[in-house]
Structure formats: C-alpha cells, structure tokens
Amino acid sequence: MGDSVDQRWVPLSDGNSIPILGLGTCSLDKPIKGETVKAVKAGIEIGYRHFDGAFMYGNEDEVGEAIRAKIADGTVKREDIFYTSKLWMTYLSPALVRKGLEHTLKSLKLDYIDLYLIHWPMGLKPSEDVLFPEDASGKILQSDVDFCETWAVMESCKDAGLVRSIGVSNFNHKQLEMLLRMPKLKYKPVCNQVECHPYLNQNKLLKYCKSNNIILVAYSPLGSSQDPRWFDPNNPIVLNDPELRKIGEKHNKTAAQIALRYQIQRDIVVIPKSFNLGRMKQNKKIFDFQLSDEEVKAIDGINKNCRYITLKQLIDHPKYPFHDEY
Ligand code: NAP
C-alpha cells in the first residue's frame, strides 16, 4: 500500500481496490449546466481517477459524459476509472434497488460502476422521481423498509456484474453490525462512507470499521461546502482552524492539504469536492509530505464531534443514524 507520486490504491475486502483520493461531484449549491462535465474532464486530465457521485446529485449524466469523452480521446481506459454511485432513500425497497442502479447506469451510459452504496440506512416512500416525497402538510413520507433486504438485492447486482463492489453510507456501528450478522450474508460492505474531518474525526467508528475490514470513506473532508441553505453560521469552520494552519505553515501546505493528509495517514479514503482547477490541483498535492505522529495527535486533539450534514428533517425516522454515539 505504498504511495505513488500522486495516488495510493487501498485493497477492499472483496479483492478490488479503491484510490485513496477521489473527487467529490456533489454541487447542489450551484448546479450550473455543463459545470460537472468540465470539472470531471479537468479532473481526469490532472490525474484524478476516482469520482464520487450519486443519483441524488442530479448530474450523473454529466459525469458519464466526461468519463466517456476522456476514454474516447485516449486519455484513460474504463478500467483506470473508479466511479462510486449511491442508491437513494426512495429506492430502498427490494423491488426498486436494481431499477435505481439501472437509472444510474443509463444516465452515465456505462456498463458497470465500480462501487454502489446504500446512500442512507433510512428508507422513504418509494418513488422513482421525487427525492423527498411529502404529504399535503409538507411532512416527508418515510418507509420502514429493512436495509438488510435492500442489501440482499445489492449483492445480486454485484453478481450480475452491474457493479464491482458494494458498500454503505451514513451507517452507524450498530447498523453495520446488523448487516454483518445477516444469516445469509454473501458479501460484506467494503466501505462505510461517512462525514469525517478534523472536527468529526470518527475515531471510534474508524476503529470498528478497521476491525471488520471495512474501509472508511470520508465525505466533507474539508468541512463541507457550507451551503447557506443548511449550514449553521454558528458552526466552526474547519479550514480556519489555527492548528491546521500552523502545521500547514511548517510543511508549506494549506489547511486543506493538512486536513486531507491527516485522513490518508489514517488509511481513510478522501473525496474532497472542488470544481475549481487550482483547488483541484492543490487537493492532489498530499502525497509528497508526511505528518509526524505528534502532528497527527495534535489534529486528533482539535476534534469537536461537530457534524455538519445532519439531515435533521428525518430525525424522527426509526433508522436515523446519528442518535448513537458512533
Ligand atoms: P468538502 O469536500 O469538504 O468541501 C467542498 C467545499 O470546499 C467546496 O465549497 C469547495 O469549493 C471547497 N474547497 C475545495 N477545495 C478547497 C481548498 N483546497 N481550499 C478551500 N476550499 C476548498 O465537502 P462536500 O462537497 O460536502 O463533500 C465532498 C464529497 O463527498 C461530495 O462532493 C460528495 O461526493 C460526497 N458527499 C457524500 C455524502 C453522503 O451522504 N454520502 C454527503 C455529502 C457529501 P470549490 O468547488 O469552489 O473549490
């Protein structure tokens, strides 16, 4: 698992592997047409090979267009690219799982994806077009679908060759345990993708995942996009942290590069989102220096268990994952 100049591939429990650095593609705050195609093409040109997307982000057609264009012009082959997508909450009932994946493949115009995740353990009322189905009073309509049943169909999608690896996102350790204890479990989830950054370092969940050979993938590794529609302005801002800045000055790196390097030294996969060429390049320059054990410890010390992505509108859902400590 040595670092190359600008990447490291991490083995997954099913024999596949994942690049430790990927590019997030969620741009809900300002979805400008053509922006994702441009960013993903630029990402491939500067060496990104791993892209994190989802049906929910509404731009998989553009991600697919960019990947196909860069295959067509000879920059990459399909097997050089690692693409992750996610099954949305309205698709958790077993009858809809494969349909969800097929919608994604159709948007991408690709034959398979590399990794497919259950986006959240919570189900919503089945729907193929509305992301958050509501009743007349505006209340989000939930479903009590059992994610273990969802998982069994995810396994069959892997067997059918539509996806190479399967995993989950936003599961707490008890919910992971429920999957691992499934009597007819065929494949373990290869990863759990969760919010993780220096202010929410997830040390307990990381320990649990490592002991079960589950890779932790860190979303919002820079502290999220701080979309004013949901970001509480009283929240502390990760990249303004004095400790990260101080360590950055020592290594001639930015706070963002220190936050990312911190994760890859803990064997955590990071998927920072940037659609800005300069910042995309900056976020890749994390393989040419090393944090000392003291520096990692100092960053551990700034943890505040501060979660930015809370999905509070579903706090009363029976499978809401964030009531538990980890
Ligand atoms: P993030 O990657 O922590 O932060 C993105 C924000 O930081 C953007 O506003 C970006 O702006 C800015 N940025 C990027 N590089 C920077 C740098 N070097 N210095 C300063 N600012 C920088 O947050 P995120 O988008 O929430 O998370 C990343 C990805 O994780 C998403 O795109 C998505 O793929 C995934 N995700 C998954 C879930 C889930 O439920 N599984 C939830 C949230 C996110 P510019 O674009 O202008 O550079």
Question: Model confidence over 51-90: pLDDT tens digits?
Answer: 999 999 999 999 999 999 999 999 999 999 999 999 999 9
**Which of 56, 195, 196, 220 for mutating ligand 1's site (highest number of atoms within 8 Å of CB)?**
220
H helix runs in 163-312, sequence order: 173-180, 203-211, 242-251, 255-265, 277-284, 293-300
What is the distance between the terminal CA atoms of the chain, rounded to a whole angstrom? 27
CA of 24 to the centre of ligand 1 (A): 6
Is the CB of residue 176 less than 8 Å from the CB of residue 100?
no
Short-list 192, 196, 195, CA closest to 213: 192
Q: Which residue is closest in CA terms to ligand 1's atom 38?
A: 219
26 C-alpha to ligand 1 centroid (Å):
7
Closest to 322 (Cα-Cα) out of 220, 173, 183:
173
Angle between helices 35-45 and 277-284 (to 10 degrees): 40
Report d(CA 37, CA 235) in Å as an integer.
32
Q: Which residue has the higher pLDDT, 1 or 236?
A: 236
- Report strand pairing: 142-143 vs 191-195: unpaired
Q: Is the pLDDT of residue 283 over 50?
A: yes
Q: How far apart are CA 214 and CA 14, in angstroms?
A: 10
Ligand 1: residue whose CA is nearest its atom 16: 279
Nearest residue CA, atom 20 of ligand 1?
A: 256
- Judge whether 161 and 116 are in contact, CB under 8 Å: no
Pairing between strand 163-169 and 113-118? parallel
Distance CA 173, CA 325 (A): 9
Cβ atoms within 10 Å, residue 149: 14
Out of 87, 205, 222, 263, mutate this one to test ligand 1's pocket (max ligand atoms within 8 Å of CB): namely 222
Q: How confident is the model at residue 29, as a pLDDT?
A: 64
Structural tokens at position 308 = 């930015």
Dist. CA 117–CA 191, nearest whole Å: 8
The Cα 132–Cα 126 span in angstroms is 10
Choose among 165, 86, 162, 173: nearest CA to 131.
Answer: 86
Q: Residue 171 and residue 224: Cα distance in Å, rounded?
A: 19
Ligand 1 atom, smallest distance to 282 CA: 18
Q: Which residue's alpha carbon is nearest to atom 25 within ligand 1?
A: 273
Q: Is 326 designated active site?
A: no
- For ligand 1, atom 9, name the residue with the nearest CA: 225
Q: Is there a contact between 53 and 83 (Cβ–Cβ < 8 Å)?
A: yes
**Amino acid 30: pLDDT:** 64
Site to probe by mutation for ligand 1, drawn from 224, 273, 282, 284 as the one with most ligand atoms within 8 Å of Cβ, is 273
Q: In which band, very low, low, confident or very high, does the pLDDT at 221 lie, cut at 50, 70 and 90?
A: very high
Distances in whole angstroms, Cα of residue 49 to Cα of each of 80, 232, 270: 7, 33, 13
Catalytic residue among 48, 57, 308, 320: 57
User: Which atom in ligand 1 lies closest to the alpha carbon of residue 238?
Assistant: 3
Residues contacting ligand 1 via CB (< 6 Å)? 24-26, 52, 119, 169-170, 193, 219-225, 239, 254, 256, 271-276, 279, 282-283, 309
pTM of the model: 0.97
Q: Compute, in angstroms, the gap from residue 137 CA to the centroid of ligand 1.
A: 33
Closest CA to 197 of 81, 280, 309, 103: 309
DSSP state of 91: G
CB atoms within 10 A of CB 184: 8
**3, pLDDT greater than 80:** no
Q: What is the pLDDT of residues 128-185, one digit of tens each?
A: 989 999 999 999 999 999 999 999 999 999 999 999 999 999 999 999 999 999 999 9
Closest ligand 1 atom to 25 CA: 32
Q: Which of 190, 153, 186 is nearest to 169 (CA)?
A: 190
Ligand 1 nearest-atom number relative to CA 256: 18
| pLDDT bucket at 10, cuts 50 / 70 / 90 | very high
* Distant-in-sequence, close-in-space partners of 13: CB < 8 Å, separation ≥ 6: 188, 190, 213, 214
